[in-house]
Amino acid sequence: LHELQKVMNYPKFRFTENQKARFLTILLETARVVEAPGYIKVIEEDHSDDVILETAIVGNADFIISGDEHLLKIKKYSWIKIVSASEFLTSSL
């Protein structure tokens, strides 16, 4: 959640404070929140991205949908496919 909040503040997204708050509210009402113990160290360029991988594993996710270049270059970690939003929406993965 901390990583998501950080990313939503990137100027390129231009989210209003109301949009960010609404998105987080919807997410917390519908998502299953899991905690990552912090054991995975895979992404040398940015260890803050490791928590995304670990959370996906703990949560038994099938996909990570991201625009993060460090995650996208992995393409797959264990059984989890890592794709961009456009790739997820336009392909039959």
Nearest 5°: CA angle at 42, between 39 and 45? Answer: 125
pLDDT score recorded for residue 93: 61
According to the model, what pLDDT value does residue 77 have? 95
What pLDDT band is residue 1 in, cutting at 50, 70 and 90? confident
Q: What are the tens digits of pLDDT across the range 29-87?
A: 999 888 888 888 999 998 889 999 999 999 999 999 999 999 999 999 999 999 999 99
pTM here is: 0.76
What one-character DSSP code corresponds to residue 62? S
Helix (H) or strand (E) run with residue 88 in it: helix 85-90
At 32, phi and psi to the nearest 5?
-100, 115
Range 56-61, long-range pairs (CB < 8 A, 24+ positions): 56/80, 58/34, 59/32, 59/34
